[in-house]
DNA sequence: TAAAATAGTCAACAACATTGACCTATCGAC
DNA sequence: GTCGATAGGTCAATGTTGTTGACTATTTTA
């Protein structure tokens, strides 16, 4: 394959990535906006849901933001009673985070929306295509 | 396949998408930060580069942001002489945008970084896998 | 027990986005 | 030539998400 054609493919892939990710986040964004929440809140809801009793620092390592950046949206979620926080027994420095019942409901709604979105794209092709997509996505965060 | 296993796959795909996109944008973000620019500037540079003489409204339609949101980063790029703007001959209401020479250089650097990133992931698998990835990415922006 | 490390919070600020209101300039149609 | 539609620019107020720096509280360690 000529270099030029390869470049065009790679450029197209950049655009596909951009538009696909934007589409992928737009439905949760819309649901969240109706509650005065944003994408940062979504990420917290998601990861607290997946890792019950996670500490603030655990969340920081996953999200790779400063703890100050986490603070405002997390406090917001606690005020709205979507997330609960308590000090750990074994070490009172640690705060443990959990989703409340309504937090779980919202997280399930957001995640379900995205699962349906992905499922629609996956189901329009075959199993091998879906597995291939995941294998590329797994490779991307690896360091060069 | 059981529903539970399918759910786990879809949940994993959500996370893969998040981490892959974050990795994909992190290198350009880093280059841009060194010049006092952000992701908004990157998108403008990219689309003006791909669509020479695009008008303001064309950019707004591609980026799906408000004109006020576009205004500040675009003005910034023009001040830094990375983008040039002039009125169209056929209709002076339209402003035409182009990359300057140094704008082209920066855009090429950013795009090249992302092309290399994708190429590294693609080259670690076979041609079919790459094509499959693009086909899923193409399907995602389609309305349900 | 005093120092150092860890976990988390508060305050000030900046980038990037929103909506709404209002302005100029240009073009096409009548 | 005036009127209405279109393209663009600007100001103000607001909100989310992020930054850095200084701070408190708790635990570990030397």
Residue-wise pLDDT tens digits, A67-104: 889 999 999 999 999 999 998 888 888 899 999 999 99
A66 touches strand C (CB under 7 A): no
> pLDDT (tens digit, 0 to 9) for every residue of chain B, 144 residues total?
679 999 999 999 999 999 999 999 999 999 999 888 999 999 999 999 999 999 999 999 999 999 999 999 999 999 999 999 999 989 999 999 999 999 999 999 999 999 999 999 999 999 999 999 999 999 999 866
Helix-strand-coil percent breakdown of chain B, rounded to 5?
70, 10, 25
Contact of A4 with chain B, judged by CB distance below 8 Å, is answered with no
Contact of A21 with chain B, judged by CB distance below 8 Å, is answered with yes
B94 touches strand D (CB under 7 A): yes
Q: Tell me which residues of chain A have a pLDDT lower than 70.
A: 1, 143-144
Residue of chain B whose Cα is closest to the Cα of A23: B141
Q: Is the CB of B136 less than 8 angstroms away from the CB of A120?
A: no
Q: Is the CB of A20 less than 8 angstroms away from the CB of B140?
A: yes
3-state secondary structure B42-79: HHHHHHHHHCCCECHHHHHHHHCCCHHHHHHHHHHHHH
List the structure tokens of B26.
Answer: 């992190």
φ and ψ of B70, to 5 deg: -75, -35
- Distance from CA(A36) to C1'(D14), angstroms, rounded: 13
Contact of A108 with chain B, judged by CB distance below 8 Å, is answered with no
């Amino acid at each position: 394959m000529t270099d030029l054609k390869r470049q065009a493919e790679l450029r197209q892939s950049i655009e596909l990535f951009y538009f696909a990710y934007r589409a992928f986040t737009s439905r949760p964004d819309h649901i969240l906006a109706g509650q005065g929440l944003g994408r940062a809140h979504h990420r917290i809801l998601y990861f607290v849901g997946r890792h019950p009793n996670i500490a603030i620092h655990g969340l920081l390592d996953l999200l790779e933001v400063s703890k100050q950046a986490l603070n405002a949206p997390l406090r917001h979620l606690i005020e709205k009673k979507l997330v609960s926080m308590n000090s750990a027994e074994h070490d009172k420095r640690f705060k443990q985070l959990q989703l409340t019942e309504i937090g779980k409901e919202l997280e399930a709604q957001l995640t379900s929306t995205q699962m349906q979105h992905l499922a629609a794209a996956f189901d329009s092709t075959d199993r091998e295509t879906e597995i291939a997509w995941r294998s590329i996505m797994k490779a991307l965060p690896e360091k060069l």
